[in-house]
């Protein structure tokens, strides 16, 4: 008997849900045919797609910049190795000191520029993420 009561309750709940869905469908169907009138739920989907596209573009830009930074690092590394071999060709201690100092300066400048570029890229990515998140929050509120 208890199973029969639960079964009847389940059937009543399902029937009520179907009636509500049919009513909503019938009420919103004429509006979908009006040009320029937003379809319920379509706005959210469009906003989600726009946010996803913005995020994908931001990540692609960040990866492109990262690749460029890595290319610059490798070029600097190759140049440093070539310069390091030149240090061994020094003829006297003064020339050796000068070549070592120059090698150190170049290495330090390379490290400095790479670190600055990574920080700029990170800040840019964070800023784009925050902009996308704030747009998404504003869209949800409206």
Are 129 and 55 in contact by the 8 Å Cβ rule? The answer is yes
Stronger pLDDT, 138 or 101, i.e. the higher one:
101
Residue 3's pLDDT band (cuts 50, 70, 90): confident
Instruction: Give CA 29 to chain center in angstroms.
Output: 37
pTM above 0.75, yes or no: no
How far apart CA 122 and CA 52 sit, in angstroms, is 19
Stronger pLDDT, 34 or 111, i.e. the higher one:
111
Are 132 and 76 in contact by the 8 Å Cβ rule? The answer is no
């Amino acid at each position: 008997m208890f199973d029969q009561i639960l079964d009847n309750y389940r059937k009543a709940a399902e029937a009520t849900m179907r009636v509500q869905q049919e009513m909503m469908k019938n009420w919103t169907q004429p509006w979908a045919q009006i040009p320029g009138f937003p379809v319920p739920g379509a706005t959210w989907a469009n906003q989600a797609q726009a946010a996803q596209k913005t995020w994908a573009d931001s990540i692609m830009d960040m990866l492109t910049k990262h690749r460029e930074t890595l290319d610059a690092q490798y070029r600097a590394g190759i140049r440093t190795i070539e310069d390091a071999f030149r240090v061994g060709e020094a003829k006297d201690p003064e020339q050796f000191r000068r070549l070592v100092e120059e090698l150190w300066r170049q290495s330090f400048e390379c490290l400095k520029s790479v670190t600055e570029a990574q920080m700029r890229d990170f800040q840019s990515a964070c800023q784009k993420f925050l902009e996308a998140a704030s747009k998404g929050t504003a869209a949800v509120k409206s």
